[in-house]
Structure 1
């Protein structure tokens, strides 16, 4: 298990975190800007000292070790490649520092060049590569020495949308193949859910929820978490009562709002239509409550009326 426990105070901000995370798996740290994600990563790497705390991986206490002796890999958003070294030399850098035998070093670098599709670029300098290729070099360099722990700070943040989508699945595959204990910082929930088995949500330096990705998304513990994760149908106690639910805050999970053409159901007014290409989103006014529906285009325009049925089994009570 990976155990981190830190207290770090700054003027106007305090990070206070205690986590036990699975070893050999990927954990995503998810939260808004300023929530302490990158600070937690730097504390774990030993790049900044905590006011109080420790980090343990299995039976090994990393706390007293300086960063260079922790055997922690770090992948930065800007890649931080060495411009004067070739792709091969960048990937080999950590192995040279760790004094790997030449035969083992050569085999490991060639293995990673092949797995990342970089073999044709082995003798190129980083500036001759595309952004996606540079990201793959940085990842290969980070995992080459087989670190005890791999830390990734917004690894796809510097890429455009199309490239991010392509590399997201590549990164997911590599992390699972290497079976390295990894901590990934991101502000993108889809990125977190696709990369990580465990998701930790931070808010103002505190952990507000932790669990399996599916569990966190479908069972947010409070309204702030639900809103942060992109859920739209959040009901106040008064709105819940109007819909026949107990008078407390509820989240209507995806699928709770159903469109029914039959006039037997109470009607809603389509206030806004959002076109996403493969799907359509509709903002509806229903019993004076603003509800959101999303799915295959039902052929409704703004101003149309449609029957609405709610599935109470998908109404989640919130703290």
Structure 2
């Protein structure tokens, strides 16, 4: 008798590269909950075994240590390619390796998908829009990216990966899916990854002043990780002709200063907001147009920023309170 998963679908064996990372570990959990087998692939550069510790005894979960800049020989039915450092602190620490992970990693995973004739999803990024001159950003906007700046190893690496995905689609008729992920936050973010949500929460929990860059008027849109994962799965399960790119993010826009004030309000304490110079090429505004995600995938975010921050603060409070703080990440 064929087993049917809880969603009425035949179970699949699914590979998630970067599966022990912040987003990847949540995706692995969600796929297991849908009745699939999950092969989690990670080299633990920014991912952590602790992120999937609760899955290690699951009968349908397998963990493989592997760097996708080297060829991969496995048998699966679908591939989610999430492998790449995603925060400035991490991707600028070894920019050459970051670029290799995006480009050579894409070549290797696309080659695997071509051999197996299986669908593959690329976790791209809103960073392909650079410091946008169009607001909000729609998928047909080509972006405003500095190709030789300190962020270009990530921005241009992801742009090149998108090129590879679409060329494999055109040349080899490969079933591809490309999603552009906007700012995402939630439990299992690395406390020292330099992202604004984790920075503010950790600083406030420690009673330190909260550091903003510039005057804090630059804007971001923050998507809770559970909403993002729903979007990734919806994209993978969409009809073959839906290839993207499709923006996945929360269109509710906040200034960095508003975020800092909300974190201070939720945590309390004596933290003040202090200003530092704005880093080079830091985008002044970022907001997704999610019309395609809504109309094509039936996807909308459901978790408001305040609710998501409460859950994320609880996670970091536990992490800091138990002495489980990971070793500090290398500085750029």
TM-score, normalisation: structure 2: 0.28
Question: Which of the two has higher C-alpha Rg?
Answer: 1
State the TM-score, normalized to the length of structure 1.
0.28
- Indicate the structure with greater strand content: 1
